[in-house]
Amino acid sequence: MQPYVRLDSTARYHTNELTHEDITWLKETYDLHEIIEEDIREKITHDKIDVYDSYLFLVLHFPKYLLERGKYILNEFNIILGKDFIVTIADAESTNIERIKHQFEYDIKSHQEAWEEYKHSPYYVLYRIIDSMFDKTIRGTRSFARDLLRLEKVIFDDRELSPSTLENIMVKRRNLVLLKHTYLPGQEIIDELQKETLKFYGGELDVYFEDLSYKIEKILSSISVLSEDVDSLYDSHNALIWMKTNTIVTVLTIFTAIIWLLTLITWFYGMNIALPFSDAPYIYAWVWGIMLLLSWIMIARFRKKKWM
């Protein structure tokens, strides 16, 4: 496990490929509790924060979007926060973490004299990580809203009511449910984290975590609005499908009624018995004419009733 930033006595580590040797090294280096070791090895489905004498252990979940599948999955972050170190362990790779790494390296090299003391703090690094993840989700909700506008155009303007359209709606509903259940516990975790970090760093950086509280409220508000939009599209799609189905059934019923009458005539004159006008000249043409006339009368009647 390689450190991505090391500044003076402050160590910051990140990895998404944790081996047995890495976990043993972390446990021995930072004197981690056995419970933390177990939590790191096992997958945890809920956010939590555990407070120890010299460090905090956090489990946070952030959504990761899989472009090829069009779906969100949960990316679990295990975070060990001490007074002079921070270790983050993620399930999947994160471009945000790499971006933070390069930004820190650039700031350290380019602005060494103006580099504020509080930016050495792992507390600030933690804020940057969470803040970047929240910003990524906010950008995702904006993209989500644009996708819904395009989907609305497909449904109402293009009238494309294919199975793929319904599948797209269902995937978006599933994504919103995952986002909602990801961020609903977030406000409580952020508030608790802000209180606990006061014991380690004081109150100088409270304003940053107030910013996180604002952003998570913004995310939840966006998710609520998007959920209403998706539900509306789902109901509209079903209503249009119902109307289309009714139209098809009506046409088929009318077609069956017309065919039934014509079949009755042809059946009657197909019997092998003496029938009226069976020997009349041009009886074949007369039968066809009667059939066409009856068809036209029935169609005109259906149109007048607005059944067609």
Residue 101: exposure state from Cβ atoms within 10 A (0-12, 13-18, ≥19): middle
List C-alpha distances in Å: 153 to 14, 146, 149, 165, 180: 43, 11, 6, 11, 26
Boundary-marking domain end, from 193, 223, 242: 242
| Res. 307: pLDDT tops 70 | no
Query: Is the distance from CB of 194 to CB of 209 less than 8 angstroms?
Result: yes
- The pLDDT, as a whole number, for residue 206 is 66
Give the residue carrying structure tokens 């009506």.
250
| Res. 41: pLDDT tops 70 | yes
Instruction: Clarify whether residues 199 and 76 are in a common domain.
Output: yes
Helix ranges (H only) for the chain are 20-30, 34-41, 95-110, 122-156, 163-183, 186-201, 206-268, 283-304
CA 214 to chain CA centroid, Å, is: 21
Phi, psi angles (nearest 5°) of residue 48: -160, 165
Instruction: Clarify whether residues 270 and 177 are in a common domain.
Output: no
In what side-by-side order are the strands of the sheet with 10-15?
A: 3-7, 10-15, 85-90, 71-82, 55-66, 48-51
Instruction: Clarify whether residues 167 and 295 are in a common domain.
Output: no
CATH number, position 275: 1.20.58.340
Residue 91: exposure state from Cβ atoms within 10 A (0-12, 13-18, ≥19): middle
Residue 94: exposure state from Cβ atoms within 10 A (0-12, 13-18, ≥19): buried
Instruction: Clarify whether residues 102 and 175 are in a common domain.
Output: yes
Calculated CA dihedral for residues 40, 46, 47, 53, nearest 10 degrees = -50
As for how many domains the chain has, the answer is 2
CATH number, position 225: 3.30.460.20
Q: With 0.95 as the threshold, say if the pTM is over it.
A: no
Phi, psi angles (nearest 5°) of residue 83: -70, -30
Confidence label for 187 from pLDDT (cuts 50, 70 and 90):
confident
Choose between 207 and 127: higher pLDDT. Answer: 127
Instruction: Clarify whether residues 201 and 61 are in a common domain.
Output: yes
Lowest average pLDDT, out of 44-53, 108-117, 127-136, 281-290, goes to 108-117
| Res. 118: pLDDT tops 50 | yes
Choose between 68 and 120: higher pLDDT. Answer: 68
Highest mean pLDDT among 54-58, 93-97, 108-112: 54-58
| Res. 256: pLDDT tops 70 | yes
Instruction: Clarify whether residues 190 and 102 are in a common domain.
Output: yes
Instruction: Clarify whether residues 210 and 261 are in a common domain.
Output: no
Confidence label for 15 from pLDDT (cuts 50, 70 and 90):
low
| Res. 9: pLDDT tops 60 | no
144-178: pLDDT as tens digits: 999 998 888 888 876 667 788 888 899 999 999 99
Instruction: Clarify whether residues 179 and 110 are in a common domain.
Output: yes
- The pLDDT, as a whole number, for residue 4 is 43
| Res. 191: pLDDT tops 70 | yes
- Mean pLDDT over each residue of the chain, to the nearest integer: 79
- The pLDDT, as a whole number, for residue 68 is 82
> 278 is in which domain, residue-wise?
243-304
Cα within 13 Å of Cα(260), Cβ side: 7
Residues 6+ apart with CB under 8 A from 55: 30, 32, 80, 81, 82, 83
Query: Is the distance from CB of 75 to CB of 136 less than 8 angstroms?
Result: no
